[in-house]
Structure 1
Amino acid sequence: MSTNDLDQSAAELGMGGNLAPESDDAGYRKRMERRQQVQKQRVEERNKEKGLILVFTGQGKGKTTAGLGLVLRTLGHGERVAIVQFIKGGWEPGEARALKAFGDQVRWHALGEGFTWETQDRERDQQLVERAWQTALEYLRDGAVKLVLLDELNVALKLGYIDAATVIHGLKERPTLTHVAVTGRGAPAELVDAADLVTEMTLIHHPFREQGVKAQAGIEF
């Protein structure tokens, strides 16, 4: 069976549980045995390994959090990680403090000075983004770094402080097995097209907007 056929078969067999149509245990086990076989084939067919471009964007909360989850997972495998924050800076979030426990295994650079309404200086913001990008390039080219997190780079792109072509060219300079995660709302179409995985966070509820709840330690920073 082709990979498309296997995917279709997996979808038809379903996830099981109470979603399965069988009411008898024997029929249910037969369905799940077949589902297990199909899943095993799907995994065996997909055996390539490559460095990925992962983009987390959208209006909803959780983009940086997703990137940091990848950071923690990579560190847990004993690999080195670099984090370059665009826009953000001027304060030390809880995750920066926590990651100090990993010592030289992780490099953290918060190279922004805050949101545009805080800095109020476009020229200075532009310079900081350029500096952050040069720092990012150093890590992207370093084969000893397994994952590079470019936090809020999408925002810098959206604000016009760096262009998508420059970013995509830089991402292509990384070694074959180096992963890069890019976060921030407003990811440009060019970056989305170049990415291997794109997740869009959807805003449904937000306590700041709807309830007047302030940013809280452990949730926002």
Structure 2
Amino acid sequence: MASIQIRKYRDDDAEAVREVFTLGMSEHVPSSFMHLLKQPLTQMVLMCVFCALMASSKSFLLPIMAVTLVLAGARQFVTYMFTSYIDTCLKKDLCHIRETYLEQKDACFWVAESDGRVVGTVACMPAEKVPGCLELKRMSVRRTHRGMGIAKALCRTVADFTRDRGYAAVILYTSVVQTDAQNLYEHMGYEKIREFVVPELVARITNFSLIEYRLDLQTDTKKD
């Protein structure tokens, strides 16, 4: 088994970090598409299209083709949404990792390295909406290196960093379709605080929700 090293981010890790993040986020397209298909509104639209064309054409072929095209369009739409989100992240903090995480107080970015290759990432920074907590961000592990305890080690790294800085808890947000991530966090002791639908119109229509998790820590008084 290859040895795994958790260390702070270096500038020459930038390309590998962006690759790990992009691949990890892209994996959620199929599950997000399935989530979309399970929504009552989606099913109603597909049924209406099928029935309307069936009644007007008196043929099975046209409605089946139309529904197939609608499904293909929906899949492309989901892909587009994830691609847009990835591009936004790559242009924001993941384009300025040192400035965003390493040069800011109580923030950090780590990578998991195996045989000289970056195979996982995680970061944290003070939570904007939850005072006294750090927020775990950018957790991702290459598919080829999962099941080796890397994600757990990255979680513990953030927890230790948070405890050392005197913060009360770690919080994080993950989506409803990221079931593996949910299982990991719950296994690591995180408690589900709430689930809420993303305020953007598209997310509200598709009922795409985020889940907030919290890991309470025993800490000393917050350091200056």
Which TM-score bucket, shorter chain as reference?
A: under 0.3
Q: What is the TM-score when the length of structure 2 is the normalising length?
A: 0.27
Comparing both structures, which one devotes a greater share of its residues to strand?
Answer: 2
